[in-house]
């Protein structure tokens, strides 16, 4: 008891005392103390409360980081580190030497890092409960503290003074100094976020700047969880973050992340009621800048994402490659995207204009990469002029303006405020060789580029060039023919970059179609392994009941599916179209379907379910409004929403409606006679529009809210069998809590339950034209527009 009492008292003192006094430190590490970096040996020094620890964190096989981290949460959260550039090998030792140095040496005794001073000034070291590690001198004053040498994170109680700053790490799990820096600038008296001239330490240009604070100002993260800029005289000039819950119940940190965003995160300390519905994970409460994709526009450098990619805000910041391009290194998206096809020939005599086409992206731009501008022109003119110019990789068309862009594209962004559209030039695939590993082909096209630029004025030399070109390509195609015999199957389809598999390859990959993952009316899905593709797991969908004579249609539909690119859609990797065999190859979703997730034995958390609801809505919105050809899913249900490793929801089976005899789905369901996910217009002679998906989404959303199937014969009583009807009754009787009866998290969030049920009731409106669009649905769910009072009884049993 006495021990415990003292402990609390000390904690109390530590929190309230000014930083410079550490006399009350509970735990001392005396001179001669040391730690050794070893695998499976968690050697560290914890703070008295145990909240923080100082010691070694293993980053790679033989590489350790000397670091400070949150020690009571399962997620590795490093808040300070000494040697991000220079990992310590196994056996390295951090020691508080007898002469007062704090030394990190590798096993052979070479210095990796050091702190403190010689001359015996240090008397002991301590890991404080604030997360500050201090070396204390004879006079009980700190000689050195980690708070004075921040890495990329600041903690409550920490103050950054002018001329100091923090540097983002290179990647989430690579702790080298990265591409962004936060600076308390003395010249301007402002706090700035800068891009760095990676890999050098110099700064590029600021992308966020605070109000002017003046000289000798500081950035304060105080014990109440406020982050603000304070002038020398003590007045607060600008509050950076103020919406955090109490530091008493939440761990907190503010970090300049590897993506350039400065975020304030909180993490509930206990499951107690004071932390309410917060997820047991780091949640961001505020961040700057509000839209990094739009903020970073630099003359040199790639922008917020890598070259040839574009940046968009979806839960934080994401980088994507445009169609026809892929990441150079998927593990490091900032390295940018490469073209997946051979560039257009610049040879005057064969400009290949008929072999190229455009992929359209609304609201997308790569500012500052343009080399020609025309105005006023029509879109068609813009397309033609870009198509006829081998340098033109992308044309931007906006309000009669046409900009030609060359590679590499920089500062890419997709944002509703951009306007206009990007026309991305891609090679029609039946005209190209497989570009991967085709170095000879590349040299070949380079030769032509150089050649035609230098020589195009001379007819004679042009002729010569044509002869050379002919000879080179003849040699090339002769060589190539051997390869293509072996690799006949790796052909690529028009306008997309999909692999075409042979049936044999897929039979092999699935071990003879052995491991069945699922089965629907029109298909069976098998698990497989694709050797060579990082030995990735794949899902192979074998379609049956194909409409006959649909060779062309199959290609068109597969091509439409392949042109989609959204994080909430399952990615199509390839296909097989061989005789009667039609198969589609998808990325493997390790967490299975939403159906098993929702209706399994353990109810997923309310927060997780809400995320899935939003993600599914986003995927559907993309299919309806944002991809190049509108796709009506026609079969939205929990079996068709899959979850990946991190539980991100992805819609599957989109684009199959036209391939399969989905128009019969109505009869099928009618026979079952249940009110499922199927909109009433399927049963009537009415046109099928995107609103059928909105209807099904409404039912799905209700299932997500209630964790219950839309139709349940075993329901307590008859009025509860059809979930939509029951929800409507509950809504009218103002008893929505019945819908989420045993779900404490949902009961604590009844405002949202009510709002979402109202959205559901709009989605299942009998009249398709009264149903909201998916865009409206998402806006209502996200709270950017109000939900109007729901209509009268939704289409119900009357529909049958
Ligand atoms: C820590 O160690 C120093 C010197 O070894 C000593 O003077 C001090 O009292 C110690 N503090 C505590 C709280 O044990
Ligand atoms: C872990 O390392 C410490 C020294 O830092 C050593 O005393 C201890 O024996 C090691 N334990 C194991 C299991 O290797
Ligand atoms: C982190 O990234 C840097 C820069 O690309 C690289 O040099 C370093 O090897 C990486 N470190 C690790 C541990 O992968
Ligand atoms: C932190 O700053 C806020 C805003 O200025 C202030 O209201 C609060 O009292 C401060 N908390 C502490 C512990 O200083
Ligand atoms: C403190 O300094 C700021 C600018 O540095 C100034 O705007 C403010 O008026 C000063 N406040 C007081 C109380 O002097
Ligand atoms: C908090 O919840 C987790 C599971 O969600 C449980 O394992 C842990 O024991 C709980 N902790 C407390 C202090 O209740
Ligand atoms: C490529 O396919 C299109 C139609 O799919 C066809 O019109 C065109 O002639 C083909 N081009 C070549 C080079 O085969
Ligand atoms: C083609 O270029 C690559 C490097 O880009 C080079 O290694 C290779 O030798 C070149 N091949 C020919 C035939 O020039
Ligand atoms: C394609 O050919 C290359 C070289 O002959 C071979 O290594 C590769 O495995 C082949 N790929 C397929 C899918 O057959
Ligand atoms: C099938 O896979 C095995 C390895 O698992 C490989 O040796 C064999 O060549 C493959 N066959 C075909 C036709 O791809």
Q: Where are the domains of the chain?
A: 24-148, 150-290, 310-427, 592-799
Q: Domain 592-799 adopts which CATH fold?
A: Transferase(Phosphotransferase); domain 1 (1.10.510)
Section 285-295 average pLDDT? 90
Q: Using CA atoms, how far apart are residues 94 and 575, in angstroms rounded to an integer?
A: 55
Provide the 3-class DSSP secondary structure of residue 289: coil
Distance 348 CA to ligand 10 centre (A): 45
- Is the Cβ–Cβ distance between 228 and 250 less than 8 Å? no
Confidence of residue 443 (pLDDT cuts 50, 70, 90): very low
Contacts of 131 (CB under 8 A, 6+ apart): 47, 51, 52, 68, 70, 79, 80, 146, 147, 155, 157, 158
Section 468-488 average pLDDT? 35
Contacts of 146 (CB under 8 A, 6+ apart): 68, 80, 131, 132, 133, 134
Which token pair is 291? 């839209």
Pick the CATH number of 24-148 from 3.40.50.1820, 1.20.1250.30, 1.10.580.10, 2.90.10.10: 2.90.10.10
> CB of 502 closer than 6 A to ligand 9?
no
Ligand 5 pocket test: pick from 188, 212, 213, 235 the residue with the most ligand atoms within 8 Å of its Cβ.
235
Strands 572-578 and 499-500, bridge-based pairing: parallel
Which residue among the candidates 340, 635, 653, 743 is catalytic per the annotation?
635
Whether pLDDT at 467 is above 60: no
- Which residue lies with its CA nearest to atom 9 of ligand 10? 508
C-beta atoms surrounding 161 within 10 Å = 12
Whether pLDDT at 431 is above 80: no
- Is the Cβ–Cβ distance between 669 and 682 less than 8 Å? yes
The CATH-assigned architecture of domain 150-290 is Orthogonal Prism (2.90)
Provide the 3-class DSSP secondary structure of residue 718: helix
Q: Using CA atoms, how far apart are residues 205 and 189, in angstroms rounded to an integer?
A: 16
Block residue for tokens 């034995």: 601
Whether pLDDT at 66 is above 90: yes
Whole-number pLDDT of residue 548: 58
Ligand nearest to C-alpha 238: 4
C-beta atoms surrounding 517 within 10 Å = 18
Closest atom of ligand 3 to 63 CA is 13
Ligand nearest to C-alpha 443: 8
Whether pLDDT at 666 is above 80: no
Whether pLDDT at 455 is above 50: no
Whether pLDDT at 669 is above 90: no
Whether pLDDT at 662 is above 50: no
Lowest-pLDDT range, 468-472, 693-697, 715-719? 468-472
Between 237 and 497, the more confident residue is 237
Which token pair is 668? 């099928």
Block residue for tokens 């994170």: 153
Model pLDDT for residues 123-145, shown as the tens digit of each residue: 889 999 999 999 988 888 888 99
C-beta atoms surrounding 428 within 10 Å = 16
Whether pLDDT at 408 is above 60: yes
Whether pLDDT at 504 is above 60: yes
When the pLDDT of each residue in the chain is averaged and rounded to a whole number, the result is: 80
- Is the Cβ–Cβ distance between 152 and 166 less than 8 Å? yes
Model pLDDT for residues 17-65, shown as the tens digit of each residue: 333 333 334 467 888 889 999 987 667 999 999 999 999 999 988 899 9
Ligand 10 pocket test: pick from 504, 508, 532, 533 the residue with the most ligand atoms within 8 Å of its Cβ.
508
Helix (H) or strand (E) holding 723: helix 723-732
Model pLDDT for residues 161-208, shown as the tens digit of each residue: 887 889 999 998 899 999 999 999 877 789 999 999 888 888 888 999
Section 2-9 average pLDDT? 38
- Which residue lies with its CA nearest to atom 10 of ligand 9? 487
Whole-number pLDDT of residue 492: 37
> In DSSP terms, which residues pair with 54 in a beta bridge?
45, 68
Percent of the chain with pLDDT over 90: 42
- Is the Cβ–Cβ distance between 707 and 598 less than 8 Å? yes
Distance 131 CA to ligand 2 centre (A): 24
Whether pLDDT at 578 is above 50: yes
Confidence of residue 214 (pLDDT cuts 50, 70, 90): confident
Whole-number pLDDT of residue 406: 94
Please count the residues of the chain.
800
Section 420-441 average pLDDT? 61
Whether pLDDT at 12 is above 50: no
Distance 387 CA to ligand 7 centre (A): 17
Residue 635 designated active-site: yes
Whole-number pLDDT of residue 480: 35
Q: Using CA atoms, how far apart are residues 198 and 174, in angstroms rounded to an integer?
A: 14
- Which residue lies with its CA nearest to atom 6 of ligand 9? 487
- Which residue lies with its CA nearest to atom 1 of ligand 2? 41
Provide the 3-class DSSP secondary structure of residue 64: strand
Whole-number pLDDT of residue 486: 26
Distance 354 CA to ligand 7 centre (A): 9
Say if residue 433 carries a ligand binding annotation: no
How many CA atoms lie within 13 Å of 26's alpha carbon, on the beta-carbon side?
22
Whole-number pLDDT of residue 153: 97
Check for a shared fold between 24-148 and 150-290. yes
Whole-number pLDDT of residue 106: 93
Section 255-273 average pLDDT? 87
Whether pLDDT at 3 is above 50: no
Model pLDDT for residues 536-548, shown as the tens digit of each residue: 788 999 887 665 5
- Which residue lies with its CA nearest to atom 3 of ligand 9? 487
- Is the Cβ–Cβ distance between 654 and 631 less than 8 Å? yes
Ligand 5-lining residues (CB < 6 angstroms): 214, 231, 233, 235
Whether pLDDT at 705 is above 90: yes
């Amino acid at each position: 008891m006495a021990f415990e009492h003292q402990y609390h008292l000390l904690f109390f003192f530590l929190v309230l005392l000014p930083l410079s006094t550490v006399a009350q430190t509970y735990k001392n590490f005396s001179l001669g103390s040391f730690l050794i970096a070893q695998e499976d040996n968690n050697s560290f020094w914890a703070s008295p409360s145990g909240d923080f620890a100082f010691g070694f964190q293993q980053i790679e096989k033989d590489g350790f980081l000397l670091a400070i981290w949150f020690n009571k949460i399962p997620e590795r959260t490093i808040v300070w580190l000494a040697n991000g550039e220079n990992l310590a090998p196994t056996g390295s030792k951090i020691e508080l030497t007898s002469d007062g140095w704090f030394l990190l040496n590798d096993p052979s005794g070479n210095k990796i890092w050091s702190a403190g001073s010689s001359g015996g000034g240090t008397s002991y070291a301590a890991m404080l409960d604030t997360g500050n590690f201090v070396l204390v001198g004879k006079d009980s004053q700190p000689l050195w503290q980690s708070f004075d040498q921040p890495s990329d994170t600041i903690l409550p109680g920490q103050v950054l003074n002018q001329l100091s700053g923090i540097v983002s790490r290179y990647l989430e799990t690579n702790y080298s100094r990265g591409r962004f820096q936060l600076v308390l600038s003395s010249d301007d008296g402002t706090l700035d976020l800068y891009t760095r001239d990676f890999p050098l330490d110099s700064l590029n240009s600021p992308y966020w700047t605070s109000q002017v604070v003046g000289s000798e100002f500081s950035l304060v993260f105080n014990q109440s969880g406020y982050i603000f800029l304070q002038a020398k005289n003590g007045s607060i000039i600008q509050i950076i973050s103020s919406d955090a819950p109490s530091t008493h119940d939440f761990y907190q940190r503010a970090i300049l992340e590897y993506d350039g965003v400065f975020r304030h995160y909180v993490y509930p300390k206990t499951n107690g009621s004071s932390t309410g519905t917060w997820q047991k994970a780091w949640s961001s409460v505020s961040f700057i800048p509000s839209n990094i994709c739009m903020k970073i526009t630099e003359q040199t450098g790639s922008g917020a994402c890598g070259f040839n990619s574009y940046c968009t805000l979806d839960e934080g910041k994401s980088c994507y490659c445009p169609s026809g391009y892929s990441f150079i290194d998927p593990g490091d998206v900032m390295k940018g995207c490469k073209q997946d096809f051979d560039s257009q020939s610049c040879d005057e005599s064969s400009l290949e204009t008929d072999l190229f086409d455009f992929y359209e992206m609304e609201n997308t731009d790569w500012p500052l990469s343009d080399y020609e501008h025309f105005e006023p022109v029509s879109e068609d003119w813009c397309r033609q002029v870009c198509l006829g110019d081998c340098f033109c990789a992308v044309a931007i068309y906006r309000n009669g303006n046409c900009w030609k862009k060359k590679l590499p594209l920089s500062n890419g962004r997709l944002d509703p405020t951009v306007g206009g559209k990007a026309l991305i030039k891609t090679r029609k695939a039946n005209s190209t060789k497989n570009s991967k590993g085709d170095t000879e082909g590349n040299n070949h096209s380079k030769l032509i580029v150089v050649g035609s630029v230098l020589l195009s004025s001379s007819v004679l030399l042009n002729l010569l060039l044509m002869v050379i070109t002919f000879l080179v390509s003849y040699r090339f195609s002769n060589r190539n023919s051997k390869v293509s015999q072996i690799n006949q199957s790796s052909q690529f389809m028009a306008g997309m970059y999909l692999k075409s598999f042979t049936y044999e390859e897929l039979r092999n990959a699935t071990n003879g179609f052995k491991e069945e993952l699922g089965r629907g009316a029109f298909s069976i899905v098998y698990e497989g392994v694709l050797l060579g593709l990082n030995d990735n797991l794949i899902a192979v969908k074998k379609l049956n009941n194909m409409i006959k004579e649909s060779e062309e249609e199959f290609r068109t539909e597969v091509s439409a599916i392949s042109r989609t690119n959204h994080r909430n859609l399952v990615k199509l990797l390839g296909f097989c179209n061989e005789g009667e065999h039609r198969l589609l190859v998808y990325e493997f979703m390790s967490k299975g379907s939403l159906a098993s997730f929702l209706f399994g034995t353990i109810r997923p958390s309310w927060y997780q379910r809400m995320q899935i609801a939003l993600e599914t809505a986003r995927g559907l919105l993309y299919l309806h409004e944002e991809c190049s050809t509108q796709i009506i899913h026609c079969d939205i249900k929990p079996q068709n929403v899959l979850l990946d490793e991190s539980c991100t929801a992805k819609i599957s089976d989109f684009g199959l409606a036209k391939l399969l005899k989905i128009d019969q789905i109505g009869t099928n369901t009618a026979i079952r006679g249940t009110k499922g996910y199927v909109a009433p217009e399927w049963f009537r002679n009415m046109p099928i529009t995107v609103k059928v998906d909105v209807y099904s989404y409404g039912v799905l959303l209700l299932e997500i809210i209630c964790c219950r199937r839309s139709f349940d014969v075993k329901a307590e009583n008859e009025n509860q069998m059809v979930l939509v009807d029951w929800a409507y009754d509950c809504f009218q009787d103002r008893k929505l809590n019945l819908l989420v009866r045993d779900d404490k998290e949902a009961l604590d969030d009844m405002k949202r339950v009510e709002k979402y049920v109202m959205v559901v009731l709009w989605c299942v409106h009998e009249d398709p034209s009264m149903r909201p669009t998916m865009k409206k649905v998402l806006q209502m769910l996200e709270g950017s527009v109000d939900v109007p009072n729901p209509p009268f009884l939704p289409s119900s049993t009357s529909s049958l």
